[in-house]
Chain A
């Protein structure tokens, strides 16, 4: 098998069976070497025992790769044969069904070739809810008949799960030997194909299928049972068959009898071959249940669908919808009066252009009046309100929204500050570019540079220039204000208070302004200043 090319993606290979070198059980390995040497002969022998073990009376859930239909699923599975996929590909062939009670009929002319090898010991049986009793943790000797227990090797203390059903039912549904072989096969899928391979690392699976179709409209149980050595329940030849067709007239005699028995059963009559009904128990390895919905097939359902565009109406008494898809609805307006408005959902029958106006800040902004009818169109206003309510219902969303906004305001504040800093500080272009990244360092360097540059010479050191512009000392202004004859009179009145001539400009300091580097050098030489208490405002987050 190892030399086989693994299947491509989406491809699946099927194999009839797995040939095993050993079936499960205890083995004794005896080696014997006959040796002859010059002084005589002798023999070396040794004996080893080993056991090939595997699941027997219980199956760990992780051995089951998948089941179809899914556990507890509800669906129209009436035409589906339930199946179980096992991760251990050799499992169905690991144990023996036991010697056949009688040989099956030899293949006649035109029959397919007989299937070689032993039949699988696993079968998947399907029961409706009423037909089945599930038994948990039963001693093995109470499940199987005594002769089967003997053939199993009389294992002591085995406790396992089991099912119990009418013997007549079991014999009617258990596959024959040939059928058992047909109902189990091995699949190899591409390991990359997750949909098929699941978690299994090698892509090999054993599949066991049932032979019974689920009853529509019922809860159905599927049970993987062990038939090891159960020659009492597995028939050598399958029971008789009928051709069920829609026309009862074409039914065979057996079919009519079967239908009659089925009808009697359906109407409450129990028609067992023996009374009281004999029950048979089987070892249950895996069990699941699902609901089978009544109704047609997928194909029938899909073909019968009513296909149209949203807003198309089939019957004349449908809602009075317009050709644009708007529906008149009654609205209680703010004043409490009832108003006819138009509404259309987000699903429309034709492509629409996207509204370029926006954003809208309130629902009222999105209300429109239709010119044809004079009635309001509240579709978009309703959408706005739904969005608002959905968002408000989500506590985390509201918080995130607030934080996002606050961060945006902070950001905006930072940008304004940067602009202010840029105008206030004559920064070098390199520093301006660095401003958003490291504002503290940039501002500090800018401030130090400005400090180093000095304030320049004072324009009016004595203050007399400013004083001279005061109106009280200006003769012309006084004359005008007091309606004096001329400025001369005013000067006379102001005699003695006339300002002296402006003081000459004080010379600028002789030494050159220190550079930023010099100040930085001074600062590093000075002892560090004690840390100041921060005055930043505490921010709530």
Chain B
């Protein structure tokens, strides 16, 4: 005989002492964490088939970046659809009707923690606690789709978005940054950015020589902190004979030292491997997308692509702002 897992009196006791019956005036108080997390991910378009995002491949040709505003009504319908599972009668409809505004305002906060959940840096409870205390209401969400071999060739591309406020750059929260396919990256930001950066991944700090042409490399002249010296000529990287792509390290050092002799105040002498390392460290490249604001609909209209390296003094102060 099967034993019932709960008897009548026990069920009654449980029901009468269930703390979930408090507070009785919040219909969404019992929203299960799994459901809430799923709906928040849906809000960020996680799992939505790509053909629904880009209905025609010509919208996103190879080697292109497309900025966009997120249609909130579209994502609200996604959530409605998800909650419509198993909706067979008026009882479910009445329930949905009653809780929908509470669920929507709750998801407006929870959707901000989807990225930290995706990166598994925090548990859902921790992330939600910080999101629930966020006083800011849901604003517009923007983002971009990048289709390029950059996505596959440079994994862990760094993306940041900024809003201009009194001449300073205020960082916007990144809500999603994910590789959808081998060469397609999607990014979502909390707000309308004025400037978007795509930065070559740091990976610690790697060594490298910029390619100056087929089979030729040059190094910019740097000062003691690694910043390029303005106006100083670049150094051609000498290679060992034999065509095996081997850098003639000793000769390169000799040439870098010659740069020091030509400009002793700015360029440090080649004293050893540390000085050599500073000269050969590859600075990450930062691509900058900037809006003109001249669009009749306002907001981000990326038409200018200004480029700078991360070590550029012009953007260094902004970088320090972000780091702080």
Binary contact track B235-257/A, C-beta < 8 Å → 1, others 0: 01011111111111111011011
8 A-B pairs besides A113-B269, A405-B95 with CB distance below 8 A are A307-B305, A308-B65, A313-B59, A346-B45, A346-B74, A366-B77, A386-B81, A402-B86
- The segment from B50-58, B112-120, B127-135 that touches chain A is B50-58
For the complex, what is the distance from the CA of A407 to the CA of B280, rounded to whole Å? 64
Binary contact track B150-163/A, C-beta < 8 Å → 1, others 0: 10111100000000
Q: Verify B77–A383 contact, CB threshold 8 A.
A: yes
Q: Verify A401–B81 contact, CB threshold 8 A.
A: no
The yes or no answer to B35 lying at the interface (CB within 8 A) is yes
Q: Verify B240–A79 contact, CB threshold 8 A.
A: no
Partner of A398, one of B69, B86, B285: B86
Partner of B63, one of A207, A305, A312, A436: A305
Interface size class of chain B, counting residues whose CB lies under 8 Å from the partner chain: 35 or more
Q: Verify A259–B64 contact, CB threshold 8 A.
A: no
Q: For residue B323, which residues in chain A have a CB less than 8 angstroms away from its CB? A: 9-10
Q: Whose C-beta in chain B lies nearest to the C-beta of A349? A: B68
Give 25 CB contacts A-B under 8 Å: A16-B271, A68-B206, A75-B152, A76-B153, A213-B217, A238-B251, A241-B241, A242-B239, A243-B238, A254-B241, A258-B240, A293-B153, A298-B200, A301-B153, A302-B150, A308-B65, A348-B71, A349-B68, A351-B192, A352-B72, A387-B84, A390-B47, A400-B34, A436-B22, A541-B6
The yes or no answer to B231 lying at the interface (CB within 8 A) is no
CB distance from A116 to the nearest CB of B (A): 8
Given A310-B145, A387-B78, A414-B21, A75 and B248 contact (CB-CB distance below 8 Å):
no
Given A347-B70, A361-B93, A409-B91, A383 and B285 contact (CB-CB distance below 8 Å):
no
- The segment from A151-159, A173-181, A506-514, A518-526 that touches chain B is A173-181
The yes or no answer to A133 lying at the interface (CB within 8 A) is no
For the complex, what is the distance from the CA of A265 to the CA of B242, rounded to whole Å? 10
Q: Verify B272–A79 contact, CB threshold 8 A.
A: no
Partner of A313, one of B58, B86, B246, B303: B58
B215-241 with Cβ < 8 A to chain A: 215-217, 236, 238-241
Q: Verify A175–B249 contact, CB threshold 8 A.
A: yes
Q: Verify A299–B71 contact, CB threshold 8 A.
A: no
How would you classify the secondary structure of chain B's contact residues: helix, strand, loop or mixed? mixed
Q: For residue B97, which residues in chain A have a CB less than 8 angstroms away from its CB? A: 359, 361
Q: Whose C-beta in chain A lies nearest to the C-beta of B87? A: A361
Q: Verify A354–B72 contact, CB threshold 8 A.
A: yes
Q: Verify A240–B241 contact, CB threshold 8 A.
A: yes
Q: Whose C-beta in chain A lies nearest to the C-beta of B34? A: A400
Q: For residue B208, which residues in chain A have a CB less than 8 angstroms away from its CB? A: 79-81
Given A111-B257, A179-B250, A310-B145, A305 and B65 contact (CB-CB distance below 8 Å):
yes
Interface centre among B12, B93, B192, B282 (most CB of A within 10 A): B12
CB distance from A534 to the nearest CB of B (A): 4
Given A215-B245, A304-B63, A390-B42, A352 and B69 contact (CB-CB distance below 8 Å):
yes
The yes or no answer to B314 lying at the interface (CB within 8 A) is no
Q: For residue A265, which residues in chain B have a CB less than 8 angstroms away from its CB? A: 243
Binary contact track A212-247/B, C-beta < 8 Å → 1, others 0: 111100000000000000000000001111111110
CB distance from A64 to the nearest CB of B (A): 13
The yes or no answer to A369 lying at the interface (CB within 8 A) is no
The yes or no answer to A403 lying at the interface (CB within 8 A) is yes
Partner of B244, one of A169, A209, A379, A414: A169
